[in-house]
């Protein structure tokens, strides 16, 4: 194996300065040039890149894996790895790493930013006030007067891994009841840490998906991409009338056409989308729908999460390569 001081790490979709610093301190050369997908193979080979770090933009498919013999590690700064042919890479002897814990709380906070906004029509107010706040103040006040509180309501969580649990912790802090479904988990122990050193533990036993859908006033998805929709017409029909839901997981886990229909029927009051089936060009009917609160896939995009991601990747790279 090469001397590690000559090993090169290409962070093609960027990496935090904390990650760069940690890797450079360990003797690796870190390159943060953004190389276009079609030029990536040549760049890796010409520069003898050992570690390729990506987020969601760069794709690492079989052809790249086959044709870049210098690669030892593929790292994903984040959780989902649908842009990487993970099993194939492992078959070929590469290490594939990601950072499942680093962005959990960031996603949870974004979900609740959306929920609080939707509950009080902030997404609408913030559009309308600059346009008509001076001429139609009283009309807007009346239009957005029927807000709801989160405290005392039930949050349904589909998918109770790290991000689902982090979101449940925020919900408990907000005074909500939590019900959760996860096909791989019977129960989870949530430890909440408070500012003064106090801790509280909550044990959440998972229930059936149908029961979660029936009970939830607010619903959040934290599931991986999969073949079928997790929420389709059948699931919408099982929900309470007037539910508020959020998808900050993956585009394609909710049938967006069925979602629009559920909003039109009143089954879904309002919804938040951070991810879309057709990223990076979401359907116009979603972008224009006043019942939707929208963000451009920014769930993990906090300074704190990116710092944690960079440090976590650096730690894993150092432990693999020595």
**Residues with catalytic function:** 250, 279, 297
Cis peptide before 274 (omega within 30 of 0): no
**Adjacent-strand bridge partners of 294:** 273
- Strand ordering across the sheet containing 243-247: 177-181, 154-158, 218-221, 243-247, 268-273, 292-294
For residue 87, the tally of other CB atoms under 10 A from its CB is 9
Q: Which residues of 207-219 are buried (b: 16+ CB within 10 A; e: fewer)?
A: eebeebbebbbbb
**Cα first-last separation, the chain:** 11
**Which burial class, exposed, middle or buried, applies to 108 when counting CB atoms under 10 A from its CB (0-12, 13-18, 19+)?**
buried
CA distance 187 to 52: 36
- Residues whose CB is less than 8 angstroms from the CB of residue 274 and which lie 6 or more positions away in sequence, other chains included: 110, 114, 246, 247, 248, 294, 295, 296, 297, 298, 299
**Which burial class, exposed, middle or buried, applies to 163 when counting CB atoms under 10 A from its CB (0-12, 13-18, 19+)?**
buried
Q: Which of 145, 150, 140 is nearest to 119 (CA)?
A: 150
CA distance 72 to 213: 44
CA distance 160 to 180: 7
**Alpha carbon 52 to chain centroid distance?**
21
Task: Report DSSP letters for 261-302, one per residue.
Answer: HHHHHTSEEEEEESS-TTTTS--HHHHT-TTEEE-SS-TT-S
């Amino acid at each position: 194996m090469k001397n590690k001081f000559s090993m090169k790490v290409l962070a093609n979709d960027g990496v935090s300065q904390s990650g760069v610093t940690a890797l450079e301190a360990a003797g690796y050369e870190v390159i943060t040039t953004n190389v276009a997908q079609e030029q990536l193979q040549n760049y890796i080979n010409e520069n003898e890149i050992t570690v390729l770090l990506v987020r969601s933009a760069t794709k690492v498919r079989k052809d790249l894996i086959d044709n870049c013999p210098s690669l030892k590690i593929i790292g994903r700064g984040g959780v989902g790895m649908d842009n990487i042919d993970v099993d194939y890479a492992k078959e070929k002897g590469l290490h594939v790493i990601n950072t499942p814990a680093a962005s959990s709380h960031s996603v949870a906070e974004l979900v609740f930013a959306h929920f609080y906004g939707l509950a009080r029509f902030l997404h609408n107010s913030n559009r309308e006030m600059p346009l008509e706040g001076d001429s139609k103040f009283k009309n807007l006040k009346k239009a957005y007067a029927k807000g709801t509180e989160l405290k005392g309501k039930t949050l349904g969580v589909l998918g109770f891994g790290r991000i689902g649990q982090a979101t449940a912790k925020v919900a408990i802090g907000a005074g909500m009841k939590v019900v959760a479904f996860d096909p791989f988990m019977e129960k989870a122990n949530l430890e909440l840490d408070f500012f003064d050193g106090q801790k509280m533990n909550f044990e959440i036993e998972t229930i059936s998906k149908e029961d979660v859908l029936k009970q939830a006033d607010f619903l959040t998805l934290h599931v991986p991409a999969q073949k079928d929709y997790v929420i389709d017409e059948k699931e919408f029909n099982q929900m309470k009338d007037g539910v508020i839901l959020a998808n900050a997981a993956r585009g394609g886990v909710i049938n967006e056409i069925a979602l629009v229909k559920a909003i039109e029927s009143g089954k879904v009051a309002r919804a938040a989308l951070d991810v879309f089936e057709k990223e990076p060009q979401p359907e116009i009917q979603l972008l224009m729908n006043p019942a939707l609160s929208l963000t451009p896939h920014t769930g993990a995009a906090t300074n704190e999460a990116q710092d944690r991601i960079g440090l976590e990747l650096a730690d894993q790279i150092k432990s693999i390569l020595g």
